[in-house]
A and B are shown apart, each in its own frame.
Chain A
Amino acid sequence: MTVIQKKSDNPIDHLSAEDVELLGKQLDAIRQSVLDDRGESDARYIRTVIDVHRKLELGSRAVLLASGFPPAWVLGTIGLSVAKILENMEIGHNILHGQWDWMRDPKIHSTTWEWDMASPAAQWKHSHNQLHHTYTNVIGKDNDLGYGIMRVDEDQKWVPAYLLQPVWSFINACFFEYGIAAYDLELGKVIAKGQTKDPEFRRRAKEVLRKIGRQVRKDYVVHPLLSGPNFVPTLAANFVANVVRNLWSNSVILCGHFPEGVETFEKRSIDGETKGEWYVRQMLGSANISGSKAMHLMTGNLSHQIEHHLFPDLPSNRYAEIAPKVKALFEEYGLNYHEAPLPQQVYSAWHKIFRLSLPNGWLDNTTPKNLPSQLVKLWKMSTGSKTTRRQLLQAEAA
């Protein structure tokens, strides 16, 4: 993959400026059609999901009080995992996007909501809503691309440390909520710049630690203690549920922007970007997951990542209904509507993580037959002098 502007077969070359503006207007019209009949049934939908989540979470935690009994452990852990996924994806993420602010219910509002997640809502809203959604897939601007720790593009220089990228990525996926918290704090940047003493950073870090403290106390102290003799199995159940939720949300998010074929953009390209151009970037920078209604619900409707990125503040229950109209526009303008089932998208994203952890071209050039010689080459690339590495890398990419 490479930024769209450097591609020989740039997929938006055939669009004129007028096309793009017209496309923008058509998308605006789709958005307006939802705003026009947004109402009681939508409100009922989100309240029902919230109600189901609360009952499921409470019920699962109650079942886990008897977690010493294996079937109770299994049932409770599954229930709690599902509850935590619902809470983060369909409820938390979408409320924090302001998708339900129009109801004017102070209890279900982006400015008052807090979620079951290491990152405090306010900090996440800044990095996610303002940075990621504005600068989607712009290299160097959208930190969601690799969360600042990964090589996500052929144009990023390869260094041997990237060989560990798949391992890091998997650990990050297991403890995703903490990764997000660190990322919302811009921890990497702050440490690199030696700004850890900055009072504003300290204040925000304290907020995160307080939030993490409350979360950890609930899952790993209070709930296990309430289980009495079943302290350890309940603690384990909470740990498993958190990891399941983390792996799941990480997978869904990887599927949204990381599968092969999703475009990235140059920093320069968004200077003076029009609304229509912004729409096009969102269209090509996102990928959907096809699947059942249950799949859409469990991904917080991020299975409709394209629709979500076009209209981040429309109620999530409406994405499915506008998806065919959006898809028709892709066809009309000759653009690729990136959509595939979950396993395929997850595979594609991880394949890319592996591929980019290796020098450009290495994976493509490697066959079972030449594997030994390729490994020797990789060893030399990783341990040789800078000059050797440069020469070998150039030869490999050629």
Chain B
Amino acid sequence: MTVMQPSPSSTRPRLTALRDRVLRLAELATTPLLPQDYLDMVDPLRSGAALRGRIEAVHRETRDAATVVIRPGRDWQPHVPGQYVRIGIDVDGVRQWRAYSITSVLGRADGCFTITVKAIPDGKVSNQLVHRTEPGTIVQLDQATGEFVLPRRTPDKALFVTAGSGITPVMGILRNLADDVATDVVLVHSAPTADDVIFGAELRELAATGRIRLVEQHTDTDGMLDAASIAALVPDLAERATWACGPLPMLEALEQYWADAGVADQLYTERFRPAIVAGDGEGGTVTFTENGTTLEADGSTPILDAAEDAGVLMPSGCRMGICFGCVLPLREGAVRDLRTGEVTTAVPGDGVLVQTCVSAAAGACAIDH
């Protein structure tokens, strides 16, 4: 007798459909709650639940950075090295969402992934994750996303320019570079001191075995690296595909230099925080037409933050103006893009979509939400 092994791809949807039907039936007995509300009490990481993760461990990397090991829910899809994940964690009872690069190797035996977080001064979430998070904490997750990844065909020569926690997506990439890929890798990394280099030991080990060429710049003693000195350190820069991640001024300087050299298309950058133009905007009254909230927002606070502070549940995403997860229709009024200073206006009927995470009120405005 031949046993037909059903392929997972055909059973999975059928099982999911069956599960959904059972849950709908169970809802007759649980209304107004959902059966899922009860299942969440038992297994918050189960398949079919809102995507969550459990923090399994926190390993110290430097005095202000730590790697957080997260066991994702069963619907987690493997990431592409270099991508980030958005994490929602309760800090002082308030859910805060932040994006962090994934630093682990793909397919870990324990099914977990890791992020590496550097505590920034006054950073609510980063300080919580680095200094105060207990294993067992449940966090909310989104699927990994981001464009800061190697192309399908790995380039022959690559340059990574990183500073501070900018090393994290690059470490995610380096750890996953297959041993048989002979890419010539140069990594130029800046940190205040040798001890502040996140993954310092591992990077130096990679350099010692000849896997990468590592240039460490300790800025406390050696000062900052500018684009020109990087070019001097890496003479074949124009032949390399370059990935850069770090503070905004560094990225802007690199973009300028690469553009001037006519190789702008070989530079990929990852921003951690939105590039906000100091607002001279006047702010104004923001009205949310559907939930009825009205609030006063100043001209330099993103509408997303102002609304959340007023208790409005807002759609949100990367909080740096790239993922468009926070977009809402501007019914009327004016908002200012905090990155460019550009003002967008709308009259009823326009329904212009605005990114609330990088837009501030520029006068009274009404948003459909």
**Segment from A39-47, A189-197, A288-296 that makes contact with B:** A39-47
Is B311 touching A101 in the complex (CB atoms < 8 A)? yes
B92 pairs with A40, CB closer than 8 A: yes
Residue of B nearest to A215 (CB): B31
Is A269 close to B, CB under 8 A?
no
**B90 and A43 contacting across the interface, CB-CB below 8 Å:** yes
Indicate if B17 sits at the interface (CB-CB under 8 A).
no
Query: Is A156 an interface position by the 8 A CB rule?
Result: no
Task: Determine if A114 and B32 form an interchain contact, defined as CB atoms under 8 angstroms apart.
Answer: yes
Residue B313 contacts which of A40, A41, A104, A218 (CB distance < 8 angstroms)? A104
**Contact A103–B94 (Cβ < 8 Å):** yes
Report yes or no: B90 in contact with A103, Cβ–Cβ below 8 A. yes
Q: Does B291 belong to the interface (CB within 8 Å)?
A: yes
Query: Which residues of chain A (26-48) have a CB below 8 Å from chain B?
Result: 38-44
Q: Is A58 an interface residue (CB 8 A)?
A: yes
| CB contact under 8 A between A103 and B313, given known A214-B32, A218-B28, A218-B29 | no
Q: Please, how many angstroms separate the alpha-carbon atoms of A44 and B90 in the complex? A: 11
Query: Which of B33-41, B195-203, B228-236, B339-347 lies at the interface with chain A?
Result: B33-41
A199-224 contact mask (Cβ, 8 Å, vs B): 1 or 0: 00000000000000011011000110
Interface residues on B, range: 10 to 19
Find the A residue at minimum CB distance from B311: A101
A98 proximal to B (CB < 8 A):
yes
A2 at the interface (CB under 8 A from B): no
A324 close to chain B: CB less than 8 A? no
Closest B residue, CB atoms, query A217: B28
**A169 on interface, CB distance cutoff 8 Å:** no
> In the assembly, what is the distance between CA of A109 and CA of B311, in Å?
9
Within 8 A of B (CB), among A93-142: 98, 101-107, 109, 111-112, 114-116
Render B8-41 as a binary contact track against A, CB cut-off 8 A, 1 for contact: 0000000000000000000011111100011001
The answer for the CA separation of A102 and B94 in the assembled complex, in Å, is: 7
Contact call A104/B95, Cβ cutoff below 8 A: yes
> B291's contact among A103, A111, A223, A226, by CB below 8 Å, is which?
A111
Residue of B32, B41, B291 touching A51 (CB-CB under 8 A)? B41
- Smallest Cβ distance from A88 to chain B, in angstroms? 11
Most chain B CB atoms below 10 A, which of A61, A104, A114, A222? A104
Rounded to whole Å, the gap between the CB of A131 and the closest CB of chain B is: 14
B 82-131 contacts with A by CB, 8 A: 90, 92-96
Shortest A333–chain B CB gap in Å is 31
A54/B37 in contact, CB under 8 A:
yes
Do A38 and B31 touch across chains, with their CB atoms under 8 A apart? no
Chain A residues whose C-beta falls within 8 Å of the C-beta of B92 in the assembled complex: 39-40
A386 to chain B, nearest CB (A): 47
Given A42-B93, A43-B93, A54-B38, the answer on whether A222 and B311 have CB atoms closer than 8 Å is no
Q: Which residue of B lies closest to A114 (CB)?
A: B32
Of A40, A61, A111, A222, the residue contacting B90 (CB under 8 A) is: A40
Q: Which residue of A lies closest to B95 (CB)?
A: A104
Find out whether the CB atom of B313 lies under 8 angstroms from the CB atom of A109.
yes
Size of A's binding interface in residues, CB under 8 A: 33
Q: Mark A219-249, 1 if CB is under 8 A from B, else 0.
A: 0001100100000000000000000000000
Interface centre among B28, B31, B93, B311 (most CB of A within 10 A): B93
Q: Mark B29-70, 1 if CB is under 8 A from A, else 0.
A: 111110001100100000000000000000000000000000
> Is B350's beta carbon under 8 Å from chain A?
no
Residue B308 at the A interface, CB < 8 A?
Answer: yes
Interface of A is mostly: helix
Do the beta carbons of A102 and B38 come within 8 Å of each other?
A: no
The residue that A98 contacts in the complex, of B31, B90, B311, with Cβ under 8 A, is B311
The distance from the CB of A109 to the nearest CB of chain B, in whole angstroms, is: 5
Complex contacts, B32 vs chain A, CB 8 Å? 114-116, 214-215
- Please, which residues of chain B bring their CB within 8 A of the CB of A214? 28, 31-32
- Quote the shortest CB–CB distance from B328 to chain A (angstroms): 15
A60 CB to closest chain B CB (Å) equals 13
Q: Could you tell me if B95 and A223 are in contact, using CB atoms closer than 8 angstroms?
A: no
CB pair A102 B311 closer than 8 Å: yes
**Chain B contacts for A106, CB-based, 8 A:** 313
With the chains together, A107 CA to B40 CA distance in Å? 11
Query: Min CB distance, A34 to chain B, in Å?
Result: 13
- Indicate if the CB atoms of A223 and B93 lie closer than 8 Å: no
B30, B38, B311: which has the most chain A beta carbons within 10 Å? B311
Do B93 and A39 have beta carbons less than 8 Å apart? yes
A222 and B28 within 8 A (CB):
yes
Residues of B within 8 A of A223 (CB): 29
Q: Mark A48-92, 1 if CB is under 8 A from B, else 0.
A: 000100110010010000000000000000000000000000000
Q: How far is the CB of B108 from chain A (nearest CB, A)?
A: 29
Residues of A within 8 A of B28 (CB): 214, 217-218, 222
Q: Which chain B residue shows the least CB distance to A37?
A: B92
Is the Cβ of A112 less than 8 Å from the Cβ of B95?
A: no
Closest to A40 in B: B93
CA–CA, A214 and B31, complex, Å: 7
Q: Chain A contacts of B30 at CB under 8 A?
A: 218
The listed residue (A39, A54, A98) touching B41 by CB distance below 8 A is A54
B37 proximity list for chain A (CB < 8 A): 54, 107
Q: Closest residue of chain B to A313, judged by CB?
A: B311
Instruction: Give Cα A24–Cα B327 distance, bound, in whole angstroms.
Output: 39
| Contact residues in B for A109 (Cβ distance below 8 Å) | 313
Q: B137-148: contact bitstring with A at CB < 8 Å (1 yes, 0 no)?
A: 000000000000
* Chain B nearest Cβ from A97, distance in angstroms: 11
Q: How far is the CA of A334 from the CA of B75 in the complex (A)?
A: 62
**Which 8 A/B pairs are nearest by Cβ-Cβ distance?**
A43-B93, A101-B311, A114-B32, A39-B92, A104-B95, A40-B93, A39-B93, A214-B31
Extra inter-chain contacts (4) besides given A54-B37, A104-B313, A105-B95, CB under 8 Å: A98-B311, A103-B95, A215-B31, A218-B31
9 contacts between A and B (CB under 8 A): A51-B41, A102-B311, A104-B96, A105-B90, A105-B95, A109-B313, A214-B32, A215-B32, A217-B31
Query: Which residues of A does B touch, CB under 8 Å?
Result: 38-44, 51, 54-55, 58, 61, 98, 101-107, 109, 111-112, 114-116, 214-215, 217-218, 222-223, 226
What is the interface of chain B, defined by CB distance below 8 A to chain A? 28-33, 37-38, 41, 90, 92-96, 291, 308, 311, 313
